Amino acid sequence: PKPCEVTPAIITKSYACQRRTPLKHHNSFLTEPLEILAENAEFSENEGRSIAFRRSASVLKALPRAVRAMDELKDLPCLGEHSLRVIKEILEDGTSSEVESTRQSEQFQAMKALTGVFGVGVRTADRWFREGLRSPLDLVHTGQKLSHTQQAGVQHYNDLNTPVTKKEAMVISDIVERAVKAVLPGAIIILTGGFRRGKEVGHDVDFLITHPEEGAEERLMPKIVNWLEDQGLLLYQKTTRNSYLESKDGPARPPSNMDRFERCFSIFRLEQTKVDCDEHVDASSYNSGRTDGTEERHSGSSWRAVRVDLVVSPYSQFAFATLGWTGSKLFERELRRWAGQEKGMSLSSHALYDSKQQRYLQANSEEELFAHLGLEYIPPSERNA
């Protein structure tokens, strides 16, 4: 094919939700470095810069082949000056000096380690960094005051930073299914997040739960949590009530990307077979950055901690919630931006509001939602923006 045919369709598609982004692509050698810079920008709370790098990386993920020369990029959207400079350096030298020095920097490494604690955000990690703290162990040694969530995060630091496998996600699916069916027969449970997009591993396992009879799902979460606790399956949980109806700021516009469903951030105690344990030990021995001592070693007993997110939605909002909880985070962000800037609509995990028609648009499926938004349907496996 002619060189210009490499990327014919992508040229005019500057929103990630207009493109198909598979999980496996051909440009990791460029996207991983760009995402280091994005992460570093997040650590300095420079959101605009972070999004710019993430959009650049995302465009490259959608390309049908590996980039070899700068002129292949000239018609692509979203590639800013800074990203192009980084890409050029990698194409010419194999690495980018800016990326490598970022990776090596004490601040980046400390922020990565500290934000790697469940319950610790960028603000807190940055304050600790400026106080001289560098790792979760430093938090223990200096006796930092920690929230309950952060205590659980430190205690289970190694497990929670060991990727959750698909196999583990399936075992947890079975458990969640049993719990939900026990307390509300007829409930529907779907796996959302990265595993729904086809990822082989994740940092947690995400579930969305509903019931075809509107209202039957109310106050469901405490029942699920009680069931799980009775079985000794939870190491930590924090349940938040549905605050959607109480909110004053208009249904389609929650104050942030946080939604208002009844939800539970939890840590499961996952029993492991002998084989799983051996795999786990083998896998962690590759991880030179581990901080032994923050977590009670459970030698002998065979379990590990896994982060699980549970969300309950009313049936009428299920399509919105499914779309909102499937990700990727950039894909979601781009969907909302598309809705607002191109369609005069406001999209959340609860609703879609059309400002021109001044009414909410109903949807029973993700397909209907894409249609409302004037977008070609993109299946979950191609939302890996």
* Part of the chain binding ligand TTP (CB under 6 A), chosen from 96-104, 136-144, 179-187, 203-211: 203-211
- 202 near ligand TTP, rule: CB under 6 A: yes
Q: Which does 244 bind (CB under 5 to 8 A by kind): ligand TTP, Mn ion, none?
A: none
206 part of the interface to Mn ion, by CB under 5 A: yes
User: Site for ligand TTP (CB under 6 A): which residue of 20, 55, 199, 336?
Assistant: 199
**Looking at 203, 223, 290, 337, which residue binds Mn ion (CB under 5 A)?**
203
Please say if 249 is a catalytic residue: no
Residues in CB range of 233: below 8 A, 6 or more apart: 175, 268, 269
Contact 274, 182 (CB under 8 A): no
The helix (H) or strand (E) run that includes residue 114 is helix 106-115
Instruction: Record the tokens describing residue 184, joined without a space.
Output: 């509300």
If contact means CB under 5 to 8 A according to the sort of partner, which of ligand TTP, Mn ion, none does residue 281 touch?
none
Is residue 35 a contact point for Mn ion (CB under 5 A)? no
**Binding track, positions 233-262, relative to ligand TTP; x by CB under 6 A:** ------------------------xxx---
Please choose which of ligand TTP, Mn ion, none residue 50 contacts, taking the beta carbon within 5 to 8 angstroms, the exact cut-off set by kind: none
Q: According to CB under 6 A, which one of 328, 338, 347, 350 is a site residue for ligand TTP? A: 328
Residues 172-201 that bind Mn ion (CB under 5 A): 193-194
Contact between 193 and ligand TTP per CB under 6 A: yes
Q: What is the DSSP string of 138-187?
A: HHHHTT----HHHHHHHHTHHHHTSPEEHHHHHHHHHHHHHHHHHHSTT-
Angle at 346 between CA 344 and CA 348, to 5 degrees: 160
- Token pair listed for 179: 């719990």
CB of 295 to Mn ion, least distance (A): 20
**What secondary structure letter does DSSP report for 361?**
P
Residue 203 contacts ligand TTP per CB under 6 A: yes
| Alpha-carbon separation of residue 378 from 32, 117, 197, 326 (angstroms) | 24, 33, 11, 12
Burial class (CB in 10 A: 0-12, 13-18, 19+), 245: exposed
Pair 378, 20: CB distance under 8 Å: yes
Q: Is 204 a catalytic residue?
A: yes
Query: Is residue 357 classed as helix, strand or coil in its secondary structure?
Result: coil
Contact partner, 199, from ligand TTP, Mn ion, none, Cβ < 5-8 Å per class: ligand TTP
Angle (CA) 65 68 70, round 5°? 115
Interaction between residue 112 and Mn ion (CB under 5 A):
no
- Residues in contact with ligand TTP, counted by CB under 6 A, come to a total of 17
Identity at 171, one-letter amino acid code: V
Q: Which residues contact 122 (CB under 8 A, 6 or more apart)?
A: 42, 43, 45, 111, 115
Restricted to residues 287-316, the positions that interact with Mn ion (CB under 5 A) are 309
Neighbours of 69 (CB within 10 A): 10
Minimum distance of ligand TTP from residue 232's CB (angstroms): 24
Asked if residue 204 binds Mn ion (CB under 5 A), the reply is: yes
Q: Smallest distance, Å, CB 91 to ligand TTP? A: 29
The catalytic site residues sit at 204, 206, 309
List residues binding ligand TTP (CB under 6 A): 193-194, 199, 202-204, 206, 257-259, 324-325, 327-329, 332, 349
